[in-house]
Structure 1
Amino acid sequence: MTRRYKLCVITATRAEYGLLSSVIKQIQDDPECELQLIATGTHLEPEFGLTYKEIEDDGVPITRKIPIYQGGEDAQVLTTMAAASSGIGQAIVELAPDMVVLLGDRYELLPIAGACVVLRIPIAHISGGEVSEGAYDEYIRHAVSKLSYLHFTSTEAYRDRVIQLGESPRRVFNVGDLGIANIKRLKRWTKAQLEQDLGIAIGDRLLQVTFHPTTLENDSERQFGELLAALNERPGYQIVFTRPNADSGSASINRMIDAFIADNAHRSCAFASLGYVRFLSLVSYCVAMVGNSSSGVVEVPSLQVGSINIGNRQRGRICADTVIHCSPDKDEIVAALDRVGSEAYKELVRSAANPYDSDGTAVQIVQRMKACLADYQGMHKTFYRGARDDSY
Structure 2
Amino acid sequence: MNRRFKIDLIVAARPNYMKIGPLYRVLRDADWCRPRLVDAGQHYDPELSSVFREAFGLPEPHAALGVGSGSHAEQTAGVLLAYEARCRCDPPDWIVVAGDVNATLSCALVGARLGISVAHLEAGLRSGDRRMPEEINRVLTDQLASLLWTPSEDADENLRREGIAPQRIECVGNIMIDAFELMRGRIEADGTRAARGLREGAYAVVTLHRPSNVDDPATLRRLVETLCAVADDLPLVFPVHPRTRQQLTVEKLYTRLVAHHGITLLEPLGYVAFMNLVLGARAVITDSGGVQEETTYLGIPCLTLRDSTERPITLIKGTNRLIDPAGLESAMRELARRDGQGAPPLWDGRTAPRVAASLRRHLVQIAE
User: Smaller-chain TM-score range?
Assistant: 0.7 to 0.9
Say whether the 8 Å CA contact 1:213–1:220 is kept in structure 2: no
Other structure's SS at 2:191 match? helix
1:68 is matched with which residue? 67
Say whether the 8 Å CA contact 1:18–1:275 is kept in structure 2: no
Say whether the 8 Å CA contact 2:193–2:276 is kept in structure 1: no
- Structure 1 CA distance for aligned equivalents of residues 83 and 89 of structure 2: 10
**Residue of structure 2 aligned with 1:95, choices 80, 87, 90:** 90
Q: Which runs of 5+ in 1 are unaligned?
A: 379-392
1:364 is matched with which residue? 354
> Which moves more between the two structures, 290-299 or 170-179?
290-299
- Structure 2 CA distance for aligned equivalents of residues 31 and 296 of structure 1: 34
Alignment TM-score, normalising by the size of structure 1: 0.82
2:288 is matched with which residue? 293
- Structure 2 CA distance for aligned equivalents of residues 175 and 159 of structure 1: 11
2:297 is matched with which residue? 302
- Structure 1 CA distance for aligned equivalents of residues 189 and 4 of structure 2: 42
Structure 1 residue 171: deviation in Å? 1.9
Say whether the 8 Å CA contact 1:153–1:174 is kept in structure 2: yes
Q: Which runs of 5+ in 2 are unaligned?
A: none
Say whether the 8 Å CA contact 1:127–1:153 is kept in structure 2: yes
Say whether the 8 Å CA contact 1:42–1:51 is kept in structure 2: no
Matched, 1:231 2:236: no
What are the Cα deviations for residues 11-52 of structure 1, in whole angstroms up to 9, with x where unaligned?
A: 011112112211111111212110110112245x5x453423
- Amino acid corresponding to residue 68 of structure 2 in structure 1: Y
Other structure's SS at 1:201 match? coil
1:38 is matched with which residue? 38
Say whether the 8 Å CA contact 1:39–1:52 is kept in structure 2: no
Say whether the 8 Å CA contact 1:290–1:310 is kept in structure 2: yes
Other structure's SS at 2:329 match? helix
C-alpha RMSD of matched pairs (Å) = 2.8
- Structure 1 CA distance for aligned equivalents of residues 50 and 355 of structure 2: 23
1:148 is matched with which residue? 145
1:270 is matched with which residue? 266
Other structure's SS at 2:173 match? coil
- Structure 2 CA distance for aligned equivalents of residues 302 and 25 of structure 1: 22
Matched, 1:79 2:74: yes
Matched, 1:27 2:27: yes
Structure 1 residue 283: deviation in Å? 0.6
Structure 1 residue 86: deviation in Å? 1.1
1:18 is matched with which residue? 18
Other structure's SS at 2:164 match? coil
Alignment TM-score, normalising by the size of structure 2: 0.87
> Would the alpha carbon gap of residues 302 and 50 (structure 1) be closer, same or farther in structure 2, given more than 3 Å must change?
closer
1:381 is matched with which residue? none
- Amino acid corresponding to residue 192 of structure 2 in structure 1: L
Other structure's SS at 1:35 match? strand
1:158 is matched with which residue? 155
Residue-pair matches, total: 358
- Structure 1 CA distance for aligned equivalents of residues 46 and 256 of structure 2: 19
> Would the alpha carbon gap of residues 212 and 171 (structure 1) be closer, same or farther in structure 2, given more than 3 Å must change?
same
2:2 is matched with which residue? 2
Say whether the 8 Å CA contact 2:295–2:320 is kept in structure 1: no
2:322 is matched with which residue? 325
1:179 is matched with which residue? 176
Other structure's SS at 1:279 match? helix
2:239 is matched with which residue? 242
Structure 1 residue 253: deviation in Å? 5.2
**Residue of structure 2 aligned with 1:334, choices 329, 333, 339:** 329
- Structure 2 CA distance for aligned equivalents of residues 2 and 49 of structure 1: 39
- Structure 2 CA distance for aligned equivalents of residues 193 and 51 of structure 1: 21
Structure 1 residue 220: deviation in Å? 4.4
Structure 1 residue 82: deviation in Å? 1.8
- Structure 1 CA distance for aligned equivalents of residues 120 and 356 of structure 2: 12
- Structure 2 CA distance for aligned equivalents of residues 106 and 306 of structure 1: 26
> Would the alpha carbon gap of residues 250 and 146 (structure 1) be closer, same or farther in structure 2, given more than 3 Å must change?
farther
**Residue of structure 1 aligned with 2:121, choices 126, 129, 132:** 126
What are the Cα deviations for residues 98-151 of structure 1, in whole angstroms up to 9, with x where unaligned?
A: 101111111222222111111111110011211222622111101001111001
> Would the alpha carbon gap of residues 213 and 121 (structure 1) be closer, same or farther in structure 2, given more than 3 Å must change?
same
2:167 is matched with which residue? 170
What fraction of aligned residue pairs are identical, expressed as a percent?
Answer: 20
What are the Cα deviations for residues 185-228 of structure 1, in whole angstroms up to 9, with x where unaligned?
A: 322434662257xx63323422221123245x997443343332
Say whether the 8 Å CA contact 2:126–2:158 is kept in structure 1: no
- Structure 1 CA distance for aligned equivalents of residues 163 and 47 of structure 2: 40
Other structure's SS at 2:35 match? strand
